[in-house]
Structure 1
Amino acid sequence: MTDLHAPANVDAPSTPVPDVPEQPSTPAESVPAANDGPPKRTRRRVRIDHLRRVVVEARTDAGYRAIVRHGSYVIGGARILARRTWDARTAARYERMLRIAEAAGNDDAIREWEARGHAYRAARHKRRMELLSLVLNAPKAIAAGLASTAVLLLLIGGALAYSSGDVRDVLTPLDAVVDLVRWVAFLAGVVWGPLLASLPWLTLAAMWATGRARHTAPTWALPADAAQRDVVPDEGAILTALQHLGLPALNKAFKEGWQPRWVAPTTRLGNGWHSQLQLPLGVTVEMINGKKTVLAHNLLRKPIEVWPTEPKQQPGVLDLWVADQGSLSGPVPPWPLLTEGTTDYFKGVPLAVSQRGDQVAGKLMAANYMVGGIMGSGKSSLVIALLLGAILDPLVDVEAYVMAYNVDYDPLKPRMRALVKGDDDEQIEAALHALRDLRDDVTARGKLLEALGGDSVRLTRELALRDPRMRPRVVVFDECHELFMHKKYGAEAAELAVKVMKKARKVGITLIWVTVSPTADSIPRDVTRNTSHRVAFAVGDHVANDGLLGSGKHRAGITATTLIPGEDVGTAVTVGFTKNPFEVVRSHYVRKDETADQVTPVVERALQLYTGADIDHDGPQSTFEPVDHLADVAAVLGDETRMRTQEVLQGLVERNPDTYRGWTFADLKRALEPYGAQPYKSNGVQVVSRVRVQDAILERLAEDVDDTEDE
């Protein structure tokens, strides 16, 4: 039978309800508690399900969503305007920034915000005192003003009466002023009522507009078009993107009302936008990098176009650079030296273009390279551009040892000192012999530089012109993993490579390592650690990425794993090219294929420079005379009893710039200290004494005479 007393509008529970024996009609408190358990839990579950259903239905109702949306706009706008007013009328802003600076441990910022807060309070106190003084002096000022105005009007009226001959004209100016006041009062009375009545509505509209602009309503209540994202990644777009990353700690911060501090607001930087934002407690840049794909999606970008990093000097700050949409898909400008121009090994060569649109130079002197990526990603294009720039300096000798059958370097062969290709033991052994030769050459060059004046001397163009033994060398080892992983020659090659790289910086030898397999097993870690310029084209995983760019780079967001093979050809993530922690570059492509040959004309031009330059490439090698530091210092001092060390250094540079350019106080002290003529303090400044230098020279001459007599 049907229970006529059962509620018709309650859904049946999702679980079977146990049969409950009928009880006599007694008060609720007389029913045993043991029989109340299951029915109460069931009814509670039914009520909760029903409530959830009602909430879901309400959220989907357009009218309910509109009420919640516009109400949230008003409430949120009122909160924002109140906070702005409070910040404008009090020192709350300065106190808040001071607390942030204290939390960050930034002493400079603490002092700056303390000074700003003190200046604000002083100015506010001054305004209040001026207002108080104005209130006290207002009656007297008003009375004086009225009296002065009345006298002026009477004088004007007297002039009018004298002119017209009618004495009544004396009061004409006063009557005009009274009429003007009457009309102003009438107009104010007409306008004041409606204005006063509309003031609450204007305030409500201002709060609503502010809340609507800041999207203070819940996400589910916003209209469909409000979810449309802006292409420009401004502060609002960045915060919205962060809100939808799905990071629990970040979501908690937003729910608790976290107010972001913009260390650097969004500004235009090159072909993109740059911002710096201090992250809330519990949120790290590594967490943001873990969601980089989602962040890029929220900002309407590809992952390669979004770069969240943490500045070295600003821990806890998110440094975000967002490229313009499609900035990686346009054509790369032609290589600047394609048709004319020369280079200087000691100044670098044009190599690529950064995402910001800036020209990126490839340094050669005191530099070495590690270039890696999967096949077809653009490694050879960058290396060829680097070598073409190098051979446009007639001083430079170029060699390439390619442990594969690769034709990329063949067009450069007429200008190369050596080109070895192949992956047989014979070619691997040739690469090993090249490393042995480089080791010996590094040692010989080091001795020559030592004869010039010690370890502080570095190779310059003038020195390279004077002695053929000091000509710069650029040596490429392509597919170098074949060399380092060779069973017979690998261990020796790794040892030689590290030795050469550690000493080659000052002597004009540049090594370029190219590989498709940048792992710890294929590339010795010491080789990677001693590489100054690292280039990662598209790689397969974070192991290869860190093998090229350095340990921990992938976790820090500096990664080439987001580059798409076959699509981002020629695009690479680099370290060491600029002052920035990393740089995304697009290498210049000097074409040589069946449709065009841009390489051969550059090589021919380089050959003309090489043969036409007044340089003795194969002539007799000259020798260097050791530099006498004592004699040079004595010549600089001249007749001066004492001279400041800075002036001595300037005089040495003028006397012998090749030797003394770049010398510091420590270099000067190291040169004079063995002779007891080192600088000392006189009247609070470091000076060099002419007497000490002369005594050192005489003592050295005496020792030379004694040595001669002994012989």
Structure 2
Amino acid sequence: MTDTAPERVNGHTAPQVSLLKFAPAPDAAPLPEPPAPAVEDKPRRRRVRVDLLRRVVVEARTHDAYRAAVRHGSYLAGGTRILTRRAWDARTTALHARMMRAAEAAGNEELVRQWEQRAYAYRLARHKRRMDLLQMALNAPKAIASAALGTGSVLLALGVMLAIYNHDLTDVLTPINALVELVGWVAFIAGVVWEPLLYSLPVMAVASAWAVGRQRQTAPTWALPGDPEQRDVVPDEGAILRALGNLGIAPLNRAIKEGWQPRWVQPTTRSGNGWHTQLQLPMGVTVEMIAGKKSVLAHNLLRKPVEVWPTEPPKQPGVLDLWVADQGSLSGAVPPWPLLTEGTTDYFKGVPVAVSQRGEAIIGKLMAANWMVGGIMGSGKSSLVIALLLGAILDPLVIVEAYVMAYNTDYDPLKPRLRRLVKGDDDEDIEAALNALRSLRDEVTERGKLLEELGEGATKVTRELALKDPRMRPKVVVFDECHELFMHKEYGKEAAELAIKVMKKARKTAITLVWVTVSPTADSLPRDVTRNTSHRVAFAVGDHVANDGLLGSGRHKAGITATTLIPGEDVGTAVTVGFSGKPFEVVRAHYVARDPDKGIDEVTPVVERAMALYEGTGPVEEPTFEPVDPLADVAAVLGDAPRMLTQEVLHRLAERRPDAYREWGPVDLKKALEPYGAEPYKSGGKSTVARDRVHDAILERLAEDADDEGGDDM
């Protein structure tokens, strides 16, 4: 085989190459080695391809047509999955098994047994249905034959009677012919309708699956209509579910993925300056888990943490009670103190001290109550305490003493009306506070003996007794910066023992103790002092230890926490326990201004009015300030009527106290009576209030007050 002939390429003669072997000429230079493959370029090219693919996906996500296709396809797929799961759960014990696994994981053996019993009952009922169907199939031929024979006999008898009447033998078969013709018409109509119905069934099934998927929002967030990051300010059911679904709680995410449909115990409704809702959480998800993600939940609802309060109702375990305040509801002005220019008070009925986030008046109870007020410096503690004391001194029967273990001027304007004011943190000042506790210990004992001497009818001090006997006059004693007293090396232990003894006996004897501190810790506040305090107020605190030191053990974990209050911003805002039937209240203290540098002094005129009442001659005037008590007012407007329509109750309440009830609606009345179990109910399709329920609630409240007072002596 010969070499190939030379070829010309671009005017040049190409070198001859043998087809059998290649051998370079002896004098020819060696050919350069081919370059090694650039191994390091492969990852770079892979990254380029991945970045390009990611960019394509992101750009596709922003395209309306692509998002619509993904959205509606996800609706269809998700709806089909949900409907399939529902059908499977309805036909099997899969739901029972799932609930048993969740209960077993939660360690709830009683609930596991309950679901086992339900599963057994379901299987038993299913077996019975199947046996009934089998028996029906066995009996079907006989039943059909009996029915045909009976129907034929009836038709033949009718035909005979018709033939006799018409004297025509052919009429014997007329009823049978009519039935045959009717069957023919039914078959014709069914034939006309059946084919379109048969073709429309798949369309209806697809539409149903799509509707379920759309309702449950099974599409990815980025594929939803509009801006996927756009969130509604109004926390409706959809917004709340989206917020809960983005908390990062694994059991909740799994329940949502499996098609969990929440049961709304209380649909989202307007409540004062915010929104209120209640929903039952799925198995394996606790309210504490939600409360632990409070900051994220608030972010998802476009709120500050202090504006979102997830708690668990005392009588509804497993239910999330969520209250969401309006945006910025804590930044507006607090309404003026109601007694700023006129009015007198009654120690035994309480005084106004704050407003809740819902805009409701918060009445500070004095009789049978003790107070614990704490928070960091500048958080607004003095505002609430001063409002409380100003309300107390507007009752001329009340005696007030203040022991301030620091040098400040907060109580100086009240000095004319105070029986005693001690200021300072020297040993003699601390000793004066200790002597006050010793005197109170003796006084509660003396008042207890006086009550015993008055007989069985006098179980506690009343206004009538205080008017008759000056020794029974109500007394309010404030210990500000009380941590200085309890942490004193020499007096601290005795002070703690005296404080506990006085608090356990003081409620029946019309003596109120108010403890104020900036250091609410286990060392600065004896635990038994906190336990025996009925009204606890926590302004901005630094950590959960201080929070639980004021509000009670475990409150922070349960979501009742003041750690989310921002010092210097949420001044005057506090989390309180014991002010109502609710587990807690977020309040904003009334501010009675006093700033000598700016020439503002609203405190002194109130003190002057109080002095005029205290020093006045003649009988003591009846108090003009009446706290709102919806339970008592509803009982009054019901009168002797066994029941009354809710609208009629609201109308009469507005007539009774227009200032308090003019703006009330059915929802307001329900929320006011619900904590007592006396809320309206449906009777004949109409919302009705029952007198018996209201009276039972009043008796129960009186019994609880009696139990609380009796418990102090233990």
Compute the TM-score of the two structures, normalised by the length of structure 1.
Answer: 0.65
CA deviations over 1:549-589 (Å, ceiling 9, x no partner): 45775565333343456775653201344565533234567
How far did 1:224 drift?
A: 2.0
Aligned to 1:272: 276
1:132 is aligned with what amino acid?
L
Q: Offset at 1:613?
A: 6.5
User: Over aligned residues, Cα RMSD in angstroms?
Assistant: 5.3
Structure 1 stretch 371-380 or stretch 326-335: which is displaced more? 326-335
Shift of 1:535: 0.8
Query: Does 1:23 pair with 2:34?
Result: yes
> Aligned to 2:102, which of 89, 100, 103?
100
Question: What does residue 134 of structure 1 align with?
Answer: 136
Q: Which residue of structure 1 lines up, in the alignment, with residue 460 of structure 2? A: 460
Change (3 A) 1:383 1:203: same
Matches within 5 A, 1:9-158: 23=34, 37-156=39-158
Deviation of the 1:262 alpha carbon = 5.9
Distance 2:175 2:359 in 1: 71
The 2-side partners of 1:521 and 1:134 are apart by 74
AA at the equivalent of 1:125 = H
Q: Is the 8 A contact 1:591 1:597 kept in 2?
A: no
8 Å Cα contact 2:356-2:588 kept in structure 1:
yes
Contact kept, 8 Å, 1:355 with 1:585, in 2: the verdict is: yes
Describe the superposition over 1:480-537 as per-residue Cα deviations: whole angstroms up to 9, x where unpaired.
Answer: 57x659xxx955564554233211121343221335x346599556666764432123
Q: How does 1:238-277 map to 2 (within 5 A)?
A: 238-245=240-247, 247=248, 250=250, 254=254, 257=257, 267=267, 272-277=276-281
Q: 5 Å matches for 1:479-494?
A: 491=489, 494=492
Q: Distance in 1 between matches of 2:150 and 2:240?
A: 61
Match of 1:702? none
Once the two structures are TM-superposed, the CA of residue 81 in structure 1 deviates from its matched residue by: 0.6
Alpha-carbon distance, 1:368 to partner? 2.4
How do 1:156-555 and structure 2 match up within 5 A?
Answer: 156=158, 171-224=173-226, 228-229=230-231, 233=235, 237-245=239-247, 247=248, 250=250, 254=254, 257=257, 267=267, 272-277=276-281, 285=288, 289=291, 291-309=293-311, 319-325=320-326, 343=346, 345=348, 354-355=356-357, 362-364=364-366, 367-373=369-375, 379-387=381-389, 390=392, 396-401=398-403, 406=409, 410=413, 416=417, 418-420=419-421, 432-443=431-442, 445-446=444-445, 449=448, 460-461=460-461, 469=471, 471-478=473-480, 491=489, 494-495=492-493, 497-505=495-503, 506-507=505-506, 508=509, 509-515=511-517, 517-518=518-519, 523-524=524-525, 531-539=533-541, 545=547, 548-549=550-551, 554=556
Q: CA deviation at 1:232?
A: 6.1
Question: CA offset at residue 117 of structure 1?
Answer: 2.4
Kindly provide the amino acid, as one letter, of the partner of residue 444 in structure 2.
R
Work out whether residues 258 and 280 of structure 1, in 8 Å CA contact, stay in contact via their aligned partners in 2: no
**Cα distance in 2 for residues equivalent to 1:294 and 1:405:** 40
The amino acid of 2:419's aligned partner reads A
Q: 1:321 to 1:78 in 2, by over 3 A?
A: same
Deviation at 1:212, TM superposition (A): 2.0
Distance 1:314 1:154, change over 3 A: closer
- From the superposition, tell whether residues 177 and 22 of structure 1 become closer, same or farther in structure 2 (CA, over 3 Å): farther
Matched residue type, 1:23: P
8 A Cα contact 1:243 1:254, kept in partner: no
Structure 2 contact 71–224 (Cα < 8 Å) conserved: yes
Amino acid across the alignment from 2:112: I
User: Is contact 2:356–2:585 with CA below 8 Å preserved after alignment?
Assistant: yes
Measure the CA separation in 1 of the matches of 2:159 and 2:390. Answer: 94
* CA distance in 2: counterparts of 1:450 and 1:541, whole angstroms: 44
1:372 deviates by: 3.4
Whether the 8 Å CA contact 1:362–1:386 is kept in 2: the answer is yes
Contact 2:540–2:562 at 8 Å: present in 1 too?
yes
Q: 1:354 to 1:147 in 2, by over 3 A?
A: farther
Kindly report which structure 2 residues correspond to 1:666-685, keeping only aligned pairs within 5 A, or say none. Answer: none
Query: 1:44/1:304 Cα in 2 relative to 1: closer, same or farther (>3 Å)?
Result: closer
Amino acid at match of 2:276: G
CA distance in 1, matches of 2:147, 2:386: 86
| CA positional deviation for 1:475 | 0.8
**d(CA) in 2 for partners of 1:662, 1:202:** 62
The question of whether the paired residues in 2 share the 8 Å contact of 1:279 and 1:318 is answered with no
Gaps of 5+ in 2: 1-31, 595-599, 622-705
Secondary structure in structure 2 of the residue aligned to 1:217: coil
Deviating more after overlay: 249-258 vs 76-85 = 249-258
Residue identity matched to 1:64: Y
Note if contact 1:233-1:273 (Cα within 8 Å) is conserved in structure 2: no
Deviates more, 1:104-113 or 1:589-598: 589-598
Contact (CA 8 Å) 1:348, 1:361: kept in 2 or not?
Answer: yes
Contact 2:255–2:282 (Cα < 8 Å) also in 1: no
Amino acid at match of 1:612: P
Percent of aligned positions that are identical:
55
3-state DSSP of counterpart to 1:557: coil
3-state secondary structure, aligned to 2:479: strand
TM-score when scaled to structure 2? 0.64
